[in-house]
Structure 1
Amino acid sequence: MFDVVTGGAGFIGSHLVDTLVAQGNEVVVIDSLCAGHRDTIARHIDSCDIRFVQADLLSDGWQEAINGADRLFHLAADPDVRQSAVNPDPTMQNNIMATYRVLEAMRHWNIPEMVFTSTSTVYGDASVIPTPESYTPLEPISVYGASKLACEALISAYCHSFGMSAWTFRFANIIGSRSGHGVITDFIHKLEKNPAELEILGDGKQIKSYLEVHECVAAMLFAVGHARGRVNTFNIGSEDWIDVKSIAEIVTEEMHLPDTKFRFTGGERGWVGDVPKMQLAIDKIKALRWKPQVGSRESVRIAVRAMLDDA
């Protein structure tokens, strides 16, 4: 199997590359290293287990590297939900336009299959929780969520117009080693600067589903191997949730800071585009006989320990 992974030096992408290499696949990684880090895949590059192409998907010169691929995993994106409300243009360019360029390259080289990483934020403030893939209307409340929904639409159109197949995965909060953003990263950085007090955005009562990154990669590859439609859309997450205050407590416990005081900024949303309650229904992927082995709380603790080891 010849796989291409865009964003393969990033958080989830590098873990996916680890698994694909372990399976014995031929792998090409395309990454600009704007958000990803070469160190995450350096051992695979040095051992010639993968071919690494450093390139921006908005530029030219990388397209020929995908020639002959059996499948393209498109993970490259601007993942910062909060920043998309401050400056939308990078999100629009690096998500929508980059996805369009990838699809055009796939059409040119007749690459038959795409795997795309989307997000729970396409559902917006869902009135049905846990939220199934069939939920409507899809009304994102962040520019990031809107960009991912636009990508889903483009991928569907290309699949039906040009005979491709796709697997789209709407993620809950994926956490773990090599993560460079999100609530756990935020807490760790704040506590390193000031262990006496931790600022928590919002009221700390936001409750969401979290899943450790290795579970996420396993779910993706399982679904790709067991679902065979033109466009296959799956939620990936845990079957429970945890509130932000509890995450803060786990982080301070693992950092051995029993006297840290919490300071809340107030309000039900931590930032513009924040969804106060999120849990995805995963009945569809469970019907394929996959289910997560860990819940949100255990995922958080595993992730905190791994991220502290990374530091």
Structure 2
Amino acid sequence: MIPAGAPVLVTGAAGFIGSFVASRLARMGAAVAACDNFNDYYPVHLKHGRVQALLAPHGIRCEAVELADALQVDRLFDRVRPAYVVHLAAQAGVRYSIEHPAAYVQSNLVAFANILEACRRFRPRHLVYASSSSVYGASENAPFRESDRTDEPVSFYGATKKANEVLAHSYSHLFGFPATGLRFFTVYGPWGRPDMAYFSFAQKMLEGEAIPVFAQGALERDFTYIDDIVEAVVRVAAKPAVVAANVAPHTVFNVGNHQPVRVLDFIAALEEVVGVKARIAFLPMQPGDVPLTYADTSKLQEWVGFAPATSLREGLGRFREWLVTWMVHNKID
């Protein structure tokens, strides 16, 4: 466990995963410092809603910081002096990266390099950072294992996440600080991102709109519930790799549910939970999409004694309860 009172910096803390992780760490007794750049990739009021609902009750203030600005990062680390850094800030979205690569260069490459340099200078006990299943590209060698080749991503987003892993390994090797990348697989749940299929599908179904389904619904995704993601993050953060001579204290773990679901089967589960029959508009497969994501989680299980296991119907049921209430009070454009 992370020691009570230990200063922990959580970046991207107004984001989906970041807000839940910051909240959990605070409940565990950590002294959480939170930051986000509050960009408008999706409606900013959702980010502020997370801060109010998940962070404020624990006395966490989410500071506006642009991590692509090295001076702001330096000042942040100097104030916080973190013992642990959980870096979850990033520009998300596979398809968005095709049209807006510059946003990913700044948020996923420049900002990450600034975080690494700050860790070199301030020497936290452990840096944990978000990677993605997108590093596996269009691999059909399922289930995906951390030892698989990951040098052929099919999206620019995936390429930036692979770059994060390589950069972190080099810094860990050169400067001897422990760093761990977590390859997240299709995270879903309450307070999620409205650009994700599960969120937009449910909202459209409740509003009587057709949902766009690519590749005839044959794509398969390893849907992972947010609580399982958070459990993995806090366990991994508390157990850095051992620093040893001539070995970089850097590693990566898959964090997925190990149960890929066909998109059409996912829609059927969503129909059951939402209580609405979906109207489907079939569309061709999109550039940057992959046919399958499927996590082998045995490495994670061996390291921290945990692997995600929340069933899709249970997780969607919790999401639906939150979404109905949210839609009554908010309109997400």
* Equivalent pair of 1:7/1:13 in contact (CA under 8 Å): yes
The one of 202, 207, 211 aligned to 1:188: 202
Matches within 5 A, 1:226-305: 226=239, 228-229=241-242, 230-258=249-277, 260-266=278-284, 269=285, 271-288=286-303, 289-305=305-321
Matches of 1:284 and 1:244, distance apart in 2? 27
* 290-299 or 236-245: bigger deviation: 290-299
Matches of 2:324 and 2:135, distance apart in 1? 31
Shift of residue 9, structure 1, vs aligned partner: 0.9
* Equivalent pair of 2:221/2:293 in contact (CA under 8 Å): yes
Structure 1 residue matching 2:39: 3-state secondary structure? coil
Structure 1 residue matching 2:288: 3-state secondary structure? coil
Matches within 5 A, 1:100-179: 100-179=113-192
Shift of residue 56, structure 1, vs aligned partner: 1.1
Shift of residue 254, structure 1, vs aligned partner: 3.2
Structure 2 residue matching 1:134: 3-state secondary structure? coil
Identical-residue share of aligned pairs (%): 25
Distance 1:196 1:38, change over 3 A: closer
Shift of residue 95, structure 1, vs aligned partner: 0.4
* 8-17 or 28-37: bigger deviation: 28-37
Matches of 2:313 and 2:260, distance apart in 1? 8
* Equivalent pair of 2:14/2:36 in contact (CA under 8 Å): yes
Residue 64 of structure 1 is matched in structure 2 by 75
* Equivalent pair of 2:183/2:254 in contact (CA under 8 Å): yes
CA root-mean-square deviation:
2.1
Shift of residue 47, structure 1, vs aligned partner: 5.7
Shift of residue 298, structure 1, vs aligned partner: 3.8
Matches of 2:115 and 2:94, distance apart in 1? 22
Structure 1 residue matching 2:157: 3-state secondary structure? helix
Matches of 1:276 and 1:32, distance apart in 2? 32
Matched positions, count = 306
Matches of 1:47 and 1:303, distance apart in 2? 21
Q: TM-score, normalised by structure 1?
A: 0.91
Matches of 1:246 and 1:48, distance apart in 2? 38
Matches within 5 A, 1:198-237: 198-226=211-239, 228-229=241-242, 230-237=249-256
Matches of 1:80 and 1:135, distance apart in 2? 23
Structure 1 residue matching 2:215: 3-state secondary structure? coil
Shift of residue 48, structure 1, vs aligned partner: 6.8
Matches of 2:125 and 2:75, distance apart in 1? 15
Matches of 1:154 and 1:11, distance apart in 2? 24
Residue 330 of structure 2 is matched in structure 1 by none
Shift of residue 90, structure 1, vs aligned partner: 0.7
Unmatched segments (≥5 aa) in structure 2: 1-5, 243-248, 328-333
Residue 49 of structure 2 is matched in structure 1 by 39
Matches of 1:111 and 1:47, distance apart in 2? 27
Distance 1:300 1:275, change over 3 A: farther
Q: TM-score, normalised by structure 2?
A: 0.85
Structure 1 residue matching 2:92: 3-state secondary structure? coil
Matches of 2:259 and 2:270, distance apart in 1? 19
Distance 1:96 1:145, change over 3 A: same
